[in-house]
Amino acid sequence: MRRVLAVLSSLLLVGVFLTGQASAATVDQRQFIHSGGNYTNPVVWQDFADGDIIRVGDAYYYSASTMHYSPGAPILRSYNLVDWEYAGHSVPRLDFNSGAYDLNGGRAYVKGIWASALNYRPGNSTYYWIGCVEFNRTYVYTASAVDGTWTKRSQINNCYYDAGLLIDTNDTMYVAYGNGTISVAQLSPDGLSQVRAQQVFQTPGNVGTLEGSRFYKRNGYYYIWLTRPANGQYVLRSTSPWGPYEMRQVLLNMPGPISGGGVPHQGGLVQTQNGDWYYMSFVDAYPGGRVPALAPITWTGDWPTVQTVNGGWGVTYPKPNIQTNRTVASMIGPDTFTSGSLGHRWEWNHNPDTSRFSTGNGLRLQTATVTGDLYNARNTLTHRIQGPSSTATIELDYSQMTNGDRAGLAMLRDQSAWIGVKRDNGVNRVVMTNGLTMNSSWQTTGTGTEAAGATISGGRIWLRVNADIRPGSGRQARFSYSTDGSTFASLGPAFTLNNAWQFFMGYRFGIFNYATQSLGGAVTVRRFDLTTP
């Protein structure tokens, strides 16, 4: 996770300190081609930043940041490194001893789950998630299966900032962490407390900031994989987890695979069953967020090199040589909420009030907050946007709304807009509202202004948002509605998306229902659909 000052300082630095240059090797793309065909970057065009990637048996798992969204630390699963599905969350609830995570007496925007670590320990057949919260404490969660029940096991009163977790060959657990000053901690045999910690490396001043640790062991060497936000990647190497470490540059200002996007960086390394290595980074692609990209890695003299295409991170590469018949579920498509629980594709804006929603016969959202501010409203359910553009549609039963209620579908970020239903004085209207804004401290500065509206009746409406999240300025979302589910009418002006990175998370679709007068109303979402052109 990068900080504001870290980014500013890194952009000002031009000198690079190297103990030896490990430049990215440019190769003819034809050398990669084999019978498996090619894949295209980004391999996941959704917002999954600060990734950690591991392989357990024939499955690959990718963990990411989520800040204030709950459940946190989502996990994706793949069997070929190219096709991914939602698999679970390591943090079932943001249970961090603060009502702010419940939107109760405070707010936790851009707090919560930052860069964290996921790994699997064969000795006790257990998955571990480790992450620092609010720069002052680290939590450990464990599970016996990625898609099973995750349990908070301990709190370590030390911040493992941007933690990278290594399970050594003797089952000893080490954590690499830090910003500029890189340290290593050894954990207790159960992995729940610290038994030793020491600084192992100080980033040279002419390199800037290094962070985003990932920790590996290969051929007797220990490697700490580090990012220079937001345009470089470095690696440290030692024969001992405690150092001394020597450093090499992996990439700097490498052209990325997304037009208008940033330099691939951060993320982690993974080895396939056949012994090949890959690097899953992320690419800044605002207003959509930070999206994962995959490239092959080769090793020369036990130093890693990113394989490039025409001097940059390839838009396409040959698919990894992984033989599998296993498939994954699509990350887009419909949800009719017929299960007794929400799928892993969904995350709430802060922790939900679990007494105020249900699934099984659609998604029923009772009003959970009396407020005039969507940013303060509990139980706003979010879904990542599929890039480069996609359309979300909900079928909304609004027949049980009460006076003062607001329900609908939002483009949710620090600058937001929505289409939805207002009920006032017994009259239902469909409206498009824009002008919802936050300042740089993530406090509300605008609660929105109605830009267009129309009277409706019948108790059911279809609401639609089309979002263009290609990297760059001037990208827009457009809102429309239907009273029959077939013919849609545009409503309100196009909404221009904010592509500044400081909020970190990209835009999301948000389904909401809140009260401005009193609790008691409810809506039911009969169907959600996410489609691409």
pLDDT band at 335 (very low <50, low <70, confident <90, very high): very high
Q: What is the pLDDT of residue 35?
A: 40
Q: Which residue has the tokens 């969350």?
A: 89
Q: Which run of H or E residues covers position 55?
A: strand 52-56
Residue 4 pLDDT greater than 90, yes or no: no
**How many Å apart are CA 161 and CA 70, to the nearest integer?**
20
Q: What is the pLDDT of residue 430?
A: 98
**How many Å apart are CA 376 and CA 436, to the nearest integer?**
12
Residue 278: φ, ψ to 5°: -135, 155
**How many Å apart are CA 217 and CA 240, to the nearest integer?**
10
Q: Give the model confidence (pLDDT) of 97-124 as tens digits.
A: 889 999 999 999 999 999 999 999 999 9
> Which residues are within 8 A (CB) of 30 and not within 5 positions of it... i.e. 6 or more apart?
none
Q: Which of 81, 196, 182, 191 is nearest to 141 (CA)?
A: 191
pLDDT band at 42 (very low <50, low <70, confident <90, very high): very high
Q: Which residues pair with 508 in a beta bridge?
A: 384, 412
Are 318 and 499 spatial neighbours (Cβ–Cβ below 8 Å)?
no
Are 262 and 254 spatial neighbours (Cβ–Cβ below 8 Å)?
no
Q: Give the model confidence (pLDDT) of 490-509 as tens digits.
A: 999 999 999 999 999 999 99
Structure tokens at 181: 């000053």
Cα-atom radius of gyration of the chain, to the nearest Å? 23
**How many Å apart are CA 125 and CA 452, to the nearest integer?**
56
Structure tokens at 480: 């429309």
Q: What is the pLDDT of residue 459?
A: 98
Q: What is the pLDDT of residue 5?
A: 40
Q: What is the pLDDT of residue 97?
A: 81
**How many Å apart are CA 83 and CA 378, to the nearest integer?**
33
Q: What is the pLDDT of residue 81?
A: 98
- The CATH number given to 333-531 is 2.60.120.200
pLDDT band at 208 (very low <50, low <70, confident <90, very high): very high
Strand 303-309 and strand 405-412: the pairing is unpaired
Structure tokens at 211: 């962070």
Other C-beta atoms lying within 10 Å of the C-beta of residue 28 = 9
Helix/strand/coil percentages in the chain, nearest 5: 5, 50, 45
Q: Is 152 exposed, middle or buried (0-12, 13-18, 19+ CB in 10 A)?
A: middle
DSSP conformational letter for 497: P
Q: Which of 301, 249, 225, 211 is nearest to 18 (CA)?
A: 249
Q: Which of 188, 278, 178 is nearest to 224 (CA)?
A: 178
pLDDT band at 36 (very low <50, low <70, confident <90, very high): confident
Would you mind telling me the total number of residues written for the chain in this entry?
Answer: 533
Domain parsing of the chain, residue ranges: 4-21+49-272, 333-531
Q: What is the pLDDT of residue 24?
A: 38
Q: Give the model confidence (pLDDT) of 259-277 as tens digits.
A: 999 999 999 999 999 999 9
**How many Å apart are CA 42 and CA 40, to the nearest integer?**
6
Q: Which of 423, 364, 419 is nearest to 392 (CA)?
A: 419
> Which residues are within 8 A (CB) of 275 and not within 5 positions of it... i.e. 6 or more apart?
none
Are 201 and 207 spatial neighbours (Cβ–Cβ below 8 Å)?
no
> Could you say which of 2.115.10.20, 3.40.50.1100, 2.60.40.420, 2.130.10.10 is the CATH number of the domain covering 4-21+49-272?
2.115.10.20
Residue 173 pLDDT greater than 70, yes or no: yes
Q: What is the mean pLDDT of the chain?
A: 94
Structure tokens at 430: 């469909």
Q: Is 302 exposed, middle or buried (0-12, 13-18, 19+ CB in 10 A)?
A: exposed
Are 64 and 344 spatial neighbours (Cβ–Cβ below 8 Å)?
no
Q: Provide the strand spans (E) within 413-504.
A: 415-424, 427-438, 444-455, 460-468, 476-482, 489-490, 495-496
Other C-beta atoms lying within 10 Å of the C-beta of residue 186 = 16
- The DSSP secondary structure of 348-390, one letter per residue, reads EESS--GGGEE-SSSEEEE---B-S-GGG-S--EEEEPPSSEE
Q: Which run of H or E residues covers position 10?
A: helix 4-12
Helices (H), 169-301: none
Section 414-438 average pLDDT: 98
Structure tokens at 348: 């709430």
Please indicate whether residue 129 or residue 25 has the higher confidence score (pLDDT).
Answer: 129
Greatest CA separation found in the chain? 75
Q: Looking at 13-27, 114-128, 129-143, 204-218, which range is the least confident one?
A: 13-27
| pLDDT-above-90 percentage for the chain | 93
At residue 249, the 3 state secondary structure works out as: strand
Q: What is the pLDDT of residue 332?
A: 98
Between CA 9 and CA 12, with CA 11 as vertex, the angle to 5 degrees is 65
Q: CA of 293: how far to CAs of 60, 281, 330, in Å? A: 15, 5, 18
Residue 406 pLDDT greater than 90, yes or no: yes
Q: Which of 89, 238, 206, 79 is nearest to 150 (CA)?
A: 89
Torsion from C-alpha of 348, 141, 129, 331, nearest 10 degrees: -30
SS (H, E, C) 63-94: ECCCECEECEEEEEEECCCCCEEEEEEEECCC
Global pTM reads: 0.93
Section 472-486 average pLDDT: 98
333-531 has the same fold as 4-21+49-272: no
SS (H, E, C) 146-164: CCCCCEEEEEECCCCCCCE
